[in-house]
Amino acid sequence: MTRPVDASANKDAAKGSRELDELIHHRLRLGMVSALAANEQLSFSELKSLLRTTDGNLSVHARKLEDASYVTVTKTFEGRRPLTTYRLAPAGRRALQRYLSHMESIIQVTRDTLER
């Protein structure tokens, strides 16, 4: 049986929500950062197939992460074909760690509330 949550818990949770990094809170950008955290580097097409998205969508969100210095982009050629590869930058890795801490703290707040 779940008990009603108290006002202070809601306040803590709301504070946690406000502190969330909106840049990687977006599902596709969170997916890109997570995938790059598990790999040294991934190409544009690998990310596209992994996250099941379109070229346009991935380009837009990759640009946002690049502008925030969360990822680094390398553009080369494989034969005659352009090859774009992404790596997670130190700022992006720290942002993911902060985001994970936020998620854990939100879960902890709920757990504490239920135990009261």
Partner 1 sequence: MSTSTLHTRALDDLRFIRRTMESASAFTGVSGWGQIAIGIIALVTAFASHTVQPGPTWLGEWLAAAALAVVIGVASSIWKGQRAREPFIFAPLRKFVLGFAPPISVGVVLTFYFARLGLFSLLPACWLLLYGAGVMTGGMFSVRSVPVMGICFMVLGCVAVLAPVSWSAALLAAGFGVLPIVFGALIAWRYGG
Residues 4-23 that bind partner 1 (CB under 8 A): 5, 9-10, 12-14, 16-17
Residue 39: other Cβ atoms inside 10 A: 13
The backbone torsions φ and ψ at residue 42, rounded to the nearest 5 degrees and listed phi first, read -140, 145
> From the list 54, 59, 69, 100, which residue makes contact with partner 1 (rule: CB under 8 A)?
100
* Strand order through the sheet with 81-88: 42-43, 81-88, 71-78
Smaller CB separation from partner 1, 37 or 60: 37
Single-letter residue type at 68: A
Residues near partner 1 (CB under 8 A) = 2, 5, 9-10, 12-14, 16-17, 27, 30-31, 34-40, 42, 46, 50-51, 96, 99-100, 102-104, 106-107, 109-110, 113
